[in-house]
Amino acid sequence: MLEYYNYIKSLHLIFVITWFAGLFYIPRLFIYQIEASQKPLPDRDILGKQLKLMAKRLWFIITWPSAILATVFAIWLLILMPAWLQQPWMHVKLGFVVLLIMYHLKCHHIYKQLQCDVVKWSSGQMRMWNEGSTIILFSVIFLVIVRDAVNWIYGVVGILSLAIILMMGIKLYKRIRDKNPDA
């Protein structure tokens, strides 16, 4: 079975990429849905209907299948290489995978609310939420590539710095957008 290792790893990576593509885009659609819900009729109805359809297709045709397939291929890789489970970096990576799954499930909860026209988030809050998958992606990629060579203190400081930079960028964009609504 080890002769198929590179094929399985390739499929795992492909589905991780498409899973993240869905997770990057679905909160953006949520932002548009939230903003459309504040528009006057008939714009609200027209935009709301189209955005719900787009979210449904993205979520169930790309994001969920990719999440499931990425997980299946990951488990298969761990079965082929059980020694990885003895590596400390793999424990940390699996911790981030649990965070990613929790993020995904929370996005599903938000998706279901918005499909029923229940808006509990502001567009600004959703912009902040949108960066969660980015922080997880950076964490996992650096962890997998650098592995044991990473100094955990620098790694934590780096991820926190990334989060702060992303949040500052969102706030800066909000200021620019408030001054120029067409931006």
Which pLDDT value is given to residue 70? 98
Measured between alpha carbons, how far is 87 from 107 in angstroms, rounded to an integer? 30
Residue 54, pLDDT above cutoff 60: yes
| pLDDT single digits (tens) 167-176 | 888 888 888 8
Structure-model confidence comparison of residues 3 and 33, the more confident one: 33
Sequence length of the chain is 183
Which pLDDT value is given to residue 149? 56
93 assigned to a ligand binding site: yes
Count Cα atoms within 13 angstroms, Cβ side, for 183.
Answer: 10
91 assigned to a ligand binding site: no
| pLDDT single digits (tens) 125-147 | 999 899 899 989 988 888 888 77
Structure-model confidence comparison of residues 75 and 161, the more confident one: 75
